[in-house]
Amino acid sequence: MPREADVNLSSKAFVTSALAQGLRVDGRSPLELRELAISFGRELGNVTIRLGKTTVLAHTSISLAAPSPERPYEGTLAVHTELSPMASPFHDQIGRASDEEVLLTRMVDKAIRRSGAVDREALCIVAGEKVWALTLTLHFLTDDGNLLDAAVLASILSLKHFRRPDVTVVGSEVTVHTEDERVPVPLAIHYTPICITFAFFESIPQPILDPTHLETQLATSFLNLALTPQRELLVVSKTGGSPLEGDEVMCCVGWAVERVREVNERIEKALKEDLQKRVLEVR
Amino acid sequence: MTSMPHTLAPGNLRADQRLPNQLRPLSTSFGTLGRVDGSASFAFGDVQVLCSVTGPAEVRIRDELVDRAAVEVSVRSLPGVSGTTQKSLSALLSSTLSPLLLTTHHPRSLIQLVSQTLSSPALPTSQSSTFPALPISEKAATVNAGTLACMDAALGMRGVVYAVGVAVLPAHLPDAILPGEEEAERMQEDEKEGQGEEVVFLVDPTAMEEARALSTHVFAFSFGAGVGGDEGTVVGAESLGVFSEEQYLHSLDLVRTAVQEIRDFVRSEVEQRVREGAERDQVPADAKRRK
């Protein structure tokens, strides 16, 4: 479908005047996340994240491959993201990716793949010959703003939830064990990247966290911060026109650290509960 | 040839305790997606497909049809690759569903369907294959989800279409879970020798059952006045493998019965939904009238 219509002036005036008083249309305080719901599918690595109405599904799969000649000791991780008209009818399904989609894909790639969260050397089976090739696919089911944070959460949860088949290597002969022979093995993950997005509005000093679709349409610039629960910064991305002071950025980092800590507790708890429900031992 | 175990356990039961012509537990959900006009999911057990429908909506000039709505169908599977298997499923969905939509009611507009597989437990493959075939229950679930999503979007339809898959397996199977190279060769030789060998027909097969199948079939039936009535008529058929005419027609009959079960199930789900909606919308008896 062609371009989405701009937000009408009355809505714009209402939302911005409320924000000037520190109020948000859905009743949240400026630095409050929407309700986070985590659900796991039957297969390991199949995770659905709901942030308010924004829904993202992540799926991890693995296969054997030859390593790239420049990096014979490393496995590979590929991240596929594709916006479809299911998320919002204004996303074209045909090839050409919109700016928004490109930004989203690159941020997820930086936070999950390029940050080195997943240990790729641990994916090596026989150096130079056989490695594991991981594929993480993200499906966007509903876009009610802030797909990025939901996507990064879904991604890291899916990778942490996933179990790969166990292998035995004798010389250069590789035996891949099925689920019935040996318990599948978790991936080696160094840290948990979690992304927090801030939206800024013209002449309003206080930024908001986790914007909805409506707030996203009206915001003038965004700050995406990917951090770990150990208070390390992975990615900082600021987009949009209005300038931002260095102090403001540091302030946002401080708030983000708090949120990341809370979110991390949630996801660790959800992972633990789900894995307890599953029978992962050899019968 | 050593005596090989039967595909079916005593009592005619499959690995998951089902009868050969029994479907897995069906489940549906409606209206779960926020930014589209209609959405629904359909599941055979844990093979679940979600479909969204937007329309009638603004159409690009180049896709515009002057006397009817243009219908755009896109299929996404879990691993995210988009190759010929997805295009072929999209063609199946489009050819079975589009004729049932009253597109002439909405000229110069667009009806956009997107189908997304949410869950489809597959066999772990040790060989990487670029475009693995989709399990037939996933294909059947996609067609069913498509119909339900169009219903949820309140599009005018002259009928509905439901699909089910059938796998034809040899009655006796070797011990290996997945046939290795030697086994596969031996099985092929056996097939050529004994065309009249015993087979079993498994309706709504799991991925494991499908892996051992001699042939697989998916049939889509449409129901509605003038498009199949109450018994249904075949509008889509896809088969893969080596099979006889007899086996083909028997599979068709099995599906004919199975889709009626799906039709009845969907009817009761929709009835319940409408009833709940009516109860919700009822004004309480003591509500004050506005002056």
- pLDDT tens-place string over residues B35-94: 999 999 999 999 999 999 998 999 889 999 999 999 999 999 988 778 888 999 999 999
Which residue in chain B has the smallest CA separation from A62? B128
Sign of CA dihedral B277, B279, B285, B286: negative
| Selection from B264, B32, B30, B42 nearest residue B152 by Cα | B30
Alpha-carbon distances of B240 from B45, B141, B255, rounded to whole Å? 23, 18, 16
| Range with the poorest average pLDDT among A58-72, B137-151, B177-191 | B177-191
Strand partners, B82: none
pLDDT at B3 over 70: no
Alpha-carbon distances of B273 from A129, A167, A207, B31, B168, rounded to whole Å? 56, 49, 42, 11, 36
pLDDT at residue B185, as a whole number: 59
pLDDT at residue B1, as a whole number: 40
Tokens of A252: 């946002």
Between chains, do A178 and B177 touch, taking CB under 8 Å as contact?
yes
Residue A235, chain B, CB below 8 Å: the answer is no
Best mutation target, B63, B86, B87, B126, to test chain A (most A CBs within 10 A): B126
pLDDT confidence of B132, banded at 50, 70, 90?
Answer: low
The alpha-helical segments, DSSP class H, found in A88-204 are: 99-108, 147-161
Contacts of residues A97-100 at CB distance under 8 Å and 24 or more positions apart, as own/partner, are: none
pLDDT at residue A282, as a whole number: 39
pLDDT at residue B192, as a whole number: 53
Q: What average pLDDT does this structure show over B222-234?
A: 91
Best mutation target, A86, A140, A158, A173, to test chain B (most B CBs within 10 A): A86
Chain A residues touching residue B54 (CB < 8 angstroms): 1, 85, 89
Chain A residues touching residue B79 (CB < 8 angstroms): 59, 61, 135, 137
pLDDT at residue B128, as a whole number: 40
Phi/psi region, residue B55 (left: phi>0; alpha: psi -120 to 50; beta: rest), is: left
Residues written for chain A: 283
Tell me the C-alpha distance between B131 and B151, whole Å.
32
Chain A residues touching residue B46 (CB < 8 angstroms): 41-42
**Angle at CA B27, nearest 5°, toward A275 and B157?**
140
Tokens of B81: 């690759």
A243: closest CA of chain B, how far (Å): 32
Contacts of B234 (CB under 8 A, 6+ apart): B219, B220, B221, B252
pLDDT confidence of B284, banded at 50, 70, 90?
Answer: low
Residue A4, chain B, CB below 8 Å: the answer is no
Alpha-carbon distances of B20 from B48, B164, B168, B173, rounded to whole Å? 21, 13, 10, 16
- Dihedral in degrees, nearest 10, Cα atoms B276, B282, B285, B288: 140
Q: What average pLDDT does this structure show over B120-127?
A: 63
Alpha-carbon distances of A258 from A196, A265, B79, B158, rounded to whole Å? 10, 11, 34, 55
In the block, which residue shows the tokens 């009743």? Answer: A27
| Selection from B87, B45, B259 nearest residue B163 by Cα | B259
**Mean pLDDT estimate for chain A:** 90
Residues written for chain B: 291
Tell me the whole-structure pTM to 2 decimals.
0.88
**Mean pLDDT estimate for chain B:** 86
A80 in Cβ contact with A169 (< 8 Å): no
Q: Which helix (H) or strand (E) holds A138?
A: strand A130-142
Tell me the C-alpha distance between A136 and A156, whole Å.
10
SS3 state of residue A279:
coil
pLDDT at B179 over 70: no
pLDDT at B285 over 80: no
Between chains, do A135 and B50 touch, taking CB under 8 Å as contact?
no
| Range with the poorest average pLDDT among A186-195, B148-157, B181-190 | B181-190
Q: CB-CB: which of A61, A64, A142 is closest to B79?
A: A61
Q: CB-CB: which of A43, A144, A178 is closest to B121?
A: A43
Contacts of A68 (CB under 8 A, 6+ apart): A74, A76
- 3-state DSSP helix/strand/coil % of chain A, to nearest 5: 30, 30, 40
Q: Exposed, middle or buried by CB within 10 Å (0-12, 13-18, 19+), for A145?
A: buried
Between chains, do A89 and B127 touch, taking CB under 8 Å as contact?
no
pLDDT at residue B122, as a whole number: 78
pLDDT tens, N- to C-terminus, chain A (283 residues) = 667 888 999 999 999 999 999 999 999 999 999 999 999 998 899 999 999 999 999 999 999 999 999 999 999 999 998 888 899 888 876 656 678 888 899 999 999 999 999 999 999 998 888 999 999 999 999 999 999 999 999 999 999 999 999 999 888 788 888 878 888 999 999 999 999 999 999 888 899 999 999 999 999 999 999 999 999 999 999 998 888 889 999 999 999 999 999 999 999 999 999 988 886 543 3
A121 in Cβ contact with A73 (< 8 Å): yes
